[in-house]
Structure 1
Amino acid sequence: MEGTSPVLWQIDARGVARVEFNRPHVNNAYDGALIDGILATLNALSTAAGLRAVVLSGRGRHFQAGADLQWIRQVREQDMAANVRASRMTAEAIRRLGAVSVPTIALVQGACFGGGTGIVAACDVVVAAENAVFSIAEVRWGLTAAIIIPQLSDAIGVRQVRRYAVTGERFDAKEARRIGLVHEVVPPGQLLETGERVVGHVLENGPEAIRETKSITCDGERKPLTAEQFDALIIGHAAKRCSEEAGEGLASFVEKREASWVTHHARRNDAT
């Protein structure tokens, strides 16, 4: 696949779609254009004849390093309606990825942070290279992971979300497999080969049987959010982006310094 679009995709003769995040210069961090690209790709795939599987990957060294914080700062400076739109389109991209009727397979190398963890949580099969590193890092910048919490709760359980979404700490591929975010861990050089093996298994099975099985499985997961609950997550996500705390967190990123609350925490530790 070649091109300058932030999301590249193609379907081979077997009906296997290859979708690739194409912002390697910023570690495939998402901005409005990348989210639009995901939504446009999902629209195209939803009407593609003979689709059998979707394989997601990231161009370059990293899978998807969460939000582009420069873009987040730009959105934050706009009005609340613009912030809600940004949160809604991001939430819709993750929700629609989880609703794709054919198997979705994520191949993860390098960084998989923030929204990247939501993407893999929404996929059916996740294969990670040994060099993959994960985090649900929004709280580090005074933001929340609200719009991907449902997918993460389904993938790794509320108990693990309660740890990793509040600590923001990084964890390796081995830990990601232990908690259920990843199904298989392989050497980096075997990532594509392993993904192809998974695709091969999928193609050995009845397409309609797979669709029905996936539908039944998804219906048996956590009770779907109501429209009101979904809207509340989106509005809360947008409001937190506009908060003073988020402003400080994002400023600390740009200025390459610790946020004010890190300094306060250190002072408390020094006093004990």
Structure 2
Amino acid sequence: MHQHLKVEQKGRLLNITLNRAEDNGVSDSMASALSSVLLKAHETSDAVLLRSAGPDFCTGRIRDAGPTPAASEAYTRRDEYDGIFGSYQAMRGAKVPIIGVIEGRCMGFGTAIASLCDVSFASDAATFNIPEIGHNVMPTMVMSAVYDRMNRNAILWMAYSTDFIDAQRALAYGLVSQVVPAAELENEVARFVQLLLSRPRPAILGLKEYLRVAPRMDEQAAIDYARTLHSMVNTAAAMKKDH
């Protein structure tokens, strides 16, 4: 496991903590390690709780330390970004839902993965931005995560301006699910986790599966897929137990 990624199994909940205390950044190798954990999470868990050791959720992507500079040829350099793009795919493709807990600053890569959480709780003190263009870097990595989470005008305003937005605007933009007073954040997250884990596992997995696939289908295919999942999940033995 990566030294800056803390992973703890607590019953049917997998806790993942971004744990790079010196700057709250996420390196490419951290992103790759996160992908590996998320894609196997369903083997032990019904949900993932993703948070940071803080004080910020994530201040953005950073290159791993080492003597090798970035490749000068675009075709070669493209492969260097696979750890980041792979982590986006892993968050979308994880079979169990990912619950995000957002505190402090959420920047660049942080904004991207916050948007990809299936349910997210932001402290009312949290702030969000997409700072890349201010460093003469195209923010298309982040945009590939948020393009179907936020409306077009919101994405472009954040990308062009690099301004921070507060948690309430992040909620309005579709970046997070709930905004909670900082003093109540832990209790509200714990309440939701307990509620989620009380649901039958087939329903927990089925809900995410449907929303992962259906939006890319045409109308009839989405309806047919819903009919199929409805029959599969509702006939599962776990759905017939008294919860």
User: Quick one: structure 1 residues 215 and 136, their matched pair in 2 at CA, closer, same or farther if it must change by over 3 Å?
Assistant: same
Structure number with the bigger relative contact order (C-alpha 8 A, sep ≥ 6) is: 1
Distance 2:206 2:33 in 1: 28
Match of 1:138 among 113, 119, 132: 132
Amino acid in structure 1 at the alignment position of 2:101: L
The root-mean-square deviation of aligned C-alpha atoms, in Å, is 2.4
CA contact under 8 A between 1:75 and 1:83: conserved in structure 2? Answer: no
Compare 33-42 and 114-123 and name the one that shifted more. 33-42
Distance 1:175 1:74 in 2: 40
Other-structure match for 2:94? 100
CA contact under 8 A between 1:6 and 1:37: conserved in structure 2? Answer: no
User: Quick one: structure 1 residues 128 and 138, their matched pair in 2 at CA, closer, same or farther if it must change by over 3 Å?
Assistant: same
3-state DSSP of counterpart to 2:147: helix
1:101 Cα deviation (Å)? Answer: 1.2
CA contact under 8 A between 1:137 and 1:165: conserved in structure 2? Answer: yes
Q: In the alignment, is residue 45 of structure 1 matched against residue 24 of structure 2?
A: no
Distance 1:29 1:60 in 2: 10
Other-structure match for 1:22? 19
TM-score by length of 1: 0.72
User: Quick one: structure 1 residues 114 and 75, their matched pair in 2 at CA, closer, same or farther if it must change by over 3 Å?
Assistant: farther
3-state DSSP of counterpart to 2:149: helix
Match of 2:116 among 122, 147, 156: 122
- The gaps in structure 2 that reach 5 residues or longer are 218-243
1:150 Cα deviation (Å)? Answer: 3.4
Distance 2:139 2:215 in 1: 20
* Aligned residue pair count: 217
Structure showing the higher helix proportion among its residues? 1
CA contact under 8 A between 1:94 and 1:148: conserved in structure 2? Answer: no
Other-structure match for 1:192? 186
Identity %: 21
CA deviation string 1:21-69 (max 9, x = no partner): 010111x2112332232123224425x23x1110100002010111227
Other-structure match for 2:32? 36
Amino acid in structure 1 at the alignment position of 2:57: F
Within-5 A mapping of 1:113-262: 113-222=107-216
3-state DSSP of counterpart to 1:83: helix
Compare 79-88 and 89-98 and name the one that shifted more. 79-88
TM-score by length of 2: 0.80
- The gaps in structure 1 that reach 5 residues or longer are 224-272
CA contact under 8 A between 2:39 and 2:90: conserved in structure 1? Answer: no
Amino acid in structure 2 at the alignment position of 1:12: K
Distance 1:167 1:106 in 2: 25
1:208 Cα deviation (Å)? Answer: 0.8
Distance 2:65 2:59 in 1: 13
